[in-house]
Structure 1
Amino acid sequence: MHKRSSPAPWIEPPAHYKWGELIKKRGKPAFYKKGSVVISEGDTLNCMYYVNKGMATYTIGYESGSSRAVSLLLPGRIFGAGPIFLQEPICLSVLTLDDSEIYSLSMDEVTRAIYEDPNLSIDLIRNLTYKIKIILSGFTVVSFMSPGERLLSFFSSLLKEQNVTKSYDWYALSLNLTQEQIGEMIGVNRVTVCRIINHWKKKGIYKKVGNRAYIHSDLLLAKRMNTKTGCYSGKNEDSLITGRA
C-alpha cells in the first residue's frame, strides 16, 4: 500500500496500478478529441473508465444550462467505479480537455476481475474513500484559504502531478485550462483569477506562453500573499506548499 500526499481537491486520486494494467489489458480503448463528452449527466453507467493519455474534467450542470468544472482527471485516473455498482443516473459529466485516450471496462469484466482477485475490491474501496477525503478537503480549502493561496496551491499540485523540475528558476507547467475553468475548480470567478495572475506577471513571477504557464521559484518559495487580495507582497516567508509557518 502506498502513502499518499495531502489531497488536492481539484485533482482526482490515481488508481492502483493493478486496475490500470487490468483495464488496459481487458478494456476497450477509445480516442476522444478535445472538448468531447465521455459520459453525460443522467447516464446510467455500465462501464468503468481509465484515462490513459490526455486530460479530462468532471463537470456539473445547472438548471440554467450552464456548467462548471469540478476536478481534473489526469492520466492514471479511473472514473465510473461507483456508479456502475449503484446503477442510478449520474449527477455529473466528463469532458476532455485534451485529445485523450480513454479505456472502458464493462461491469461484467469488473465483477469478474474482483472475483479472480478480491484484493482489487479493496483497492477500489480505497480509491473511492480517498475521493471522499478529497471532497472534505475541498470544504477546508474554500473556507480557510484566500483566492491567491488556492490558485497557488492549484498550480503547485499540478506541478507535482507532472513531475516538473526547475530550469533557471522557472517551472514550466502544461496548462490547457482557461482562467474560467481554473476559477470554477478553486471556487472563485474568472475576474479574480485574472487579477491575481496579472499581479504575479507584474512582479515577474508568472508568465504564459502558448499552453504553458511558467512559474518562478520565488512564488513557490512562499512570498507572502495578502489574505484579502490574494496578491503577492514580496516579503520572504517559508513555502506555502510545505505549510511551514
Structure 2
Amino acid sequence: MRQVFLGSPWIHAPADPDIVRLFNTCGRWAKLPAGGCIFNGGDRGEIALVLSGLGAFSFQDRHGRNHIFTLILPGRLMGDVDGLSGSTVNVTDAALRETEVRLLSRDLFLQFLSENPSIQRKHAVGIIADHESDMEGMIANFTLSAPDRIITLFASLIHNLRPEPDSEGFYPLENSLTTIEISQIVSVARPTVSAILNQWLAEGLLKKVDKHLCVSHALFAALQDWTYRGATPAAKIRKRRHRRVMSAVKRRASSSQSASEANGGS
C-alpha cells in the first residue's frame, strides 16, 4: 500500500489526544451539510475537528476539474496547516457528507499551542506526517495502474476505519465513496472507475450490502507495502556497508597471506 513513507495514502492519522481535548472543551459545535466548507486560511481562519461524517481537501485545476487529495475521517483535523501558517491557499476544506465538527478560531488554536510547547512540537510532527500521507496518495497516482490505485484507496480506508470482516471475508466501507469521488481521488476517469468496479462485482471481489460497498480480502492479495519486504532501507544500507567492510578485510588478509608466502618462498 505504501511506497515511501509510513502514513496511509490519502488519509491522515488521528489528531493528538491533547488537541482533541482542546476542541471538545473549547470548540463550537457545528453541522456542515454535504458540500459545506470551513473558513480556512488567513488571520481569521477556522480549524475543525471532525466528529462524524466525512471531509476532504480538494482543489480545482485550470480546467475547473475537482481533485481530492485527502479524505478527512472522524478524529482528524481540517484547516490546521493554514491555520498554523496563516496562508491562504487554493485548497477547499469541505464536507463530502453531512459532517459534525467542533470549530476553533485560529487565535485560540495558536494561543493553546504557544502555551503548550510539547504539544506544539507533536502537532508539527503530525503535520509532516499528514503531508507524507498526501504525498503517498500522489505517488500512487503517479506510479500505479488504475485498478491498483483503487485497491490502494480501499486498503487505506479499511486500515483506518478498521471494520470487522463478515463471515465471507468482506470488509464493509461505511463511508462508501461514489464513482465520481473515487475518480477525483485516484485521478482516473469516472467511466473507467465504473468499469473496474463492475468487473470486480462480477468476479465476486466486491458486493453491495444496504448500499454500502463491501470489499473482499482477496482483492488485496497482490497488494505490496515497502515495510513488508523484509529489511528497511536503513537496514539494507547497513548490510551493504558490512559486506563491503568484510570484503575489504578479506582482501587485506589475502594480500598479507600472499606477501607472507612470497617472503617465505624467497
Task: State the TM-score bracket (shorter-chain normalisation).
Answer: 0.7 to 0.9
- Paired position in structure 2 for 1:12: 12
> Could you tell me which amino acid in structure 2 is paired with residue 120 of structure 1?
I
Which protein, 1 or 2, shows the higher relative CO under an 8 Å CA cutoff with sep ≥ 6? Answer: 2
Alpha-carbon shift at residue 242 of structure 1 (Å): 5.3
TM-score, with length taken from structure 2? 0.75
Alignment of 1:95 with 2:94, yes or no, is yes
Alignment of 1:155 with 2:154, yes or no, is yes
The verdict on how the C-alpha distance between 1:242 and 1:81 changes in structure 2, with shifts beyond 3 A counting, is: closer
> Could you tell me which amino acid in structure 2 is paired with residue 117 of structure 1?
N
After the TM superposition, which residues 32-111 of structure 1 pair with which residues of structure 2 at under 5 Å, given as runs? 32-39=32-39, 45-111=44-110
Distance across 2 between alignment mates of 1:203 and 1:78: 38
Alpha-carbon shift at residue 96 of structure 1 (Å): 1.0
Distance across 1 between alignment mates of 2:35 and 2:225: 34
Contact 2:46 / 2:106 at 8 angstroms: preserved in 1? yes
Distance across 2 between alignment mates of 1:12 and 1:77: 7
> Could you tell me which amino acid in structure 2 is paired with residue 174 of structure 1?
E
- Paired position in structure 1 for 2:125: 126
Give the RMSD, CA atoms, in angstroms: 2.3
Distance across 1 between alignment mates of 2:39 and 2:108: 19
Per-residue Cα deviation, 1:189-223 (whole angstroms, up to 9, x for no partner): 11221121111111111122444111122223x1x
Alpha-carbon shift at residue 143 of structure 1 (Å): 2.8
- Paired position in structure 1 for 2:192: 192
Structure (1/2) with the larger helix percentage: 2
Gaps of 5+ in 2: 230-266
Alignment of 1:214 with 2:214, yes or no, is yes
Contact 1:53 / 1:100 at 8 angstroms: preserved in 2? yes
Distance across 2 between alignment mates of 1:66 and 1:39: 21
Alpha-carbon shift at residue 152 of structure 1 (Å): 0.8
Comparing 84-93 with 164-173, which one deviates more in the overlay? 84-93
Distance across 2 between alignment mates of 1:191 and 1:45: 41
Alpha-carbon shift at residue 132 of structure 1 (Å): 2.4
Larger radius of gyration: 2
Sequence identity percentage: 23
Gaps of 5+ in 1: 223-238
- Paired position in structure 2 for 1:233: none
Alpha-carbon shift at residue 57 of structure 1 (Å): 0.9
